[in-house]
Amino acid sequence: MTTLLKNVLICDGSMDRGRCGSVLVADGKIAALLPPESGEKADETVDGRGRMALIPGFVNAHSHAAMSLLRGIGEEAPLMEWLQTKIWPVEAKLRKEHVLWGTRLALLEMVSGGTTAFGDMYFEMDAVVEASLEAGVRCAPCRGIVGDERWKFDDGLRLAETWKEHGDFVSVQLGPHAPYTVPLPLMKEITAEAAARGLAVHVHFLETEWELGYLKDEFGMTPAEYLEASGILEAPGALLAHCVWLSPEDLAGLNLDALSIAHNPNSNLKLGSGVMDLPGLLGRTDRIALGTDGAASNNRLDLWGEMRSASVLHKGQRRDATVVSARQALRMATYGGAEALGFRKKGFIREGWAADLVLVDLDGPQYLGVSEENILPFLVYAGSSADVRCTMVAGRWIYRNGTYPGVDREKILAKAREMRDNLLG
């Protein structure tokens, strides 16, 4: 199957400006970058008529997709109270079918906004993978490990074994939830096993100021000392979600080669956790991705919102309009996420890279004046998920003009409603 996406405005997070052109997709990959009026023959041709942008699919680096069933629960409570009194009691009732339908529900929302891959920490993760493969979306699942419960760790290792043959679509990570929920000896065992098996770890890190105090009081450690002592930096990949209370100085002298940070600006704002020092951390590492976190704390699963917030929030906080450019925001939302989740050759529009692509309608009034020169700021500051027309993963359309080929949207909505009623009733 070959597809020619013709006469589109191409841009990605490695480009300072867009470029009119065409893209030939074959065997799930970008086979060629061609001129706008290319006469290349393909099984299918989509003509953007110069009024469509073509961007890489978004990668939601940190989520808990099935929390889509818990949206609206415990609004306006601080993180620890929210978790302990609202979320954890309901999560204790979650069974595999809840996770399956909750993830299917989340995926409807994600792919309609152009998300083509996501990292997910939860439980009943086989259901998450099943829902993702059905939807045609790439997934980096990790079994959340909370407490001193070895069976959860074993379940995470089993998950990796089960799905290792699906490397290009499923990238399993190990998921010790956080330093304050996993005892340090178990954390060390998990990171050692991750290193031995070539797996990455995905950890919540310094989401709240309270956690900074916990590291000091419980372990007598600074964040850097904890990262070293826990073995997190020895894992072949480490994804730290949040890092709201991590300073750039904390990273000085550490080996950051395999470390990625998932910035979740809207979840952090809504839970009142604070603002990560993105401009400062970007001075130390470019391995920064964006995530939504769960729908119960964001409450959207929309990378456009994260991209815009990641850029404007820090300009405002620093009182400096030059920090976190539109290009940097787009790079974090695409390539940065793919890198964090271990997906290779994804996130930029380049020959030989995965055809994980999104067509964005530029016909709306908010795009008047858009050009090759200014397409990046137009997308990041004026664009939104409402502008997404089509989403493709590995050369296959998974969302097209409001429809989901091969997916029964109405059934998912009905069953997800049933699951939510069952949980909350």
Q: Kindly state the tokens that stand for 146.
A: 């909370």
Q: Tell me how far, at minimum, the Cβ of 196 lies from Zn ion, in Å.
A: 26
State the residue number with the nearest CB to Zn ion.
293
Structural element, H or E, at residue 88: helix 88-91
Task: Tell me whether residue 298 or residue 334 sits nearer to Zn ion (CB atom).
Answer: 298
Nearer to Zn ion by C-beta: 88 or 192? Answer: 88
Query: Shortest gap between Cβ of 322 and Zn ion (angstroms)?
Result: 30
Return the C-alpha torsion angle 193, 259, 263, 219, nearest 10. Answer: 60
| Beta carbon of residue 204, minimum distance to Zn ion (angstroms, whole number) | 5
Q: Which is nearer to Zn ion, 138 or 177 (CB)?
A: 177
Q: Which of residues 284-303 bind Zn ion (CB under 5 A)?
A: 293
CB of 102 to Zn ion, least distance (A): 15
How many angstroms from the chain centroid is the CA of residue 163? 19
Q: Which of residues 18-47 bind Zn ion (CB under 5 A)?
A: none
Contact of 79 with 208, CB cutoff 8 Å: yes
Q: How far is the CB of 119 from Zn ion (least distance, A)?
A: 10
Report the residue number, 289 or 393, with the smaller CB distance to Zn ion. 289
Q: Name the minimum Å distance from CB 112 to Zn ion.
A: 22
Count of residues touching Zn ion (by CB under 5 A): 1
Site string for Zn ion, 129-148 (x = CB under 5 A): --------------------
Q: In the sheet that 115-122 helps form, which strands lie side by side, from edge to edge?
A: 58-63, 115-122, 138-145, 173-176, 200-205, 237-242, 259-263, 288-290
Contact 396, 134 (CB under 8 A): no
Residue 308 and residue 377: Cα distance in Å, rounded?
10
Q: Give yes or no for a contact between 62 and 22, defined as CB atoms under 8 angstroms apart.
A: no
* DSSP structural state of residue 85: I
46/37 Cα distance (integer angstroms): 12
For residue 416, which of 109, 125, 86, 62 has the smallest C-alpha distance?
109
Q: Which C-beta is closer to Zn ion: that of 42 or that of 295?
A: 295
Toward Zn ion, which CB reaches closer, 65 or 376? Answer: 65
Residue 64 vs 284, nearer CB to Zn ion: 64
| Identity of the residue, 38 or 264, whose beta carbon is nearer to Zn ion in the bound complex | 264
| Near Zn ion in 351-380, by CB under 5 A | none
User: Going by DSSP bridges, is the β-strand pair 115-122/29-34 parallel, antiparallel, or unpaired?
Assistant: unpaired
User: Nearest distance from residue 274's CB to Zn ion, in Å?
Assistant: 15
- Residue 207 Cβ vs Zn ion, minimum distance, rounded to whole Å: 8
For the bound state, the minimum distance from the C-beta of residue 270 to Zn ion, rounded and expressed in Å, comes to 12
Nearer to Zn ion by Cβ, of 60 and 391: the residue is 60
Q: Considering only residues 241-280, where is the footprint of Zn ion by CB under 5 A?
A: none
Beta partners for residue 263, in sequence order: 290
Mark 64-93 with x for binding to Zn ion (rule: CB under 5 A) and - for no binding: ------------------------------
Contacts of 343 (CB under 8 A, 6+ apart): 59, 117, 138, 140, 168, 171, 354
Which segments within 92-188 are labelled E, that is strand? 115-122, 138-145, 173-176
Assigned token pair, 176: 């010790």
The residues binding Zn ion (CB under 5 A) are 293
